Amino acid sequence: MTKHSETSFKKGRKKAQRTLFMLPDGRSVFGPPHARSYSILPDGRIVFCLARPEANDEYFETGIKKGRGLAKRSLDLIEAMRVAAEAARPITGRGVGYKLFAAKLIPSMADNEMQRVYRLLKVAREQGDIPWEWDDEN
């Protein structure tokens, strides 16, 4: 496996560094900046293994929007949402936001903060961390 790194530029702005891997069949493929190795799945997709210590078991796959997972801050906020929603069920997304703001876990009730709360609330519900039955907006 041959591995190279490059930094690309676009319109005068520095883009993220990418890692170039040379595949055994002679093709080359760019991976995420912290990729340390790759595997080729039976269906032909390429999976990259990250080199960051906190992400040893996380993978990026080509063609699938998976990402690197949630940050610790987001995971902590989801846990606080679960506790607040369980104590006050049923509760709306805005109600969860009020609880987080009152506990000083979000800095304000501004639109950008509430959009983050709604997004993480949706993620938590889809993952099963917060049951949909606790939602008062049904």
Domain extent listing, the chain: 2-61, 72-134
**Phi, psi (5° rounding) for residue 92?**
-80, 165
Q: Is the pTM of this model over 0.75?
A: no
Note down pLDDT in tens along the chain; length 138 residues: 545 544 444 444 455 566 777 778 877 777 776 677 777 777 777 777 765 544 444 544 544 455 577 888 888 999 999 999 989 888 999 999 999 999 999 999 999 999 999 999 998 888 888 888 888 765
Q: What angle do CA 36, 41, 46 make, to 5 degrees?
A: 45
> In this structure, what DSSP letter does residue 57 have?
T
82: left (phi over 0), alpha (psi -120 to 50) or beta: alpha
For CA atoms 117, 119, 120, 123, the dihedral sign is positive
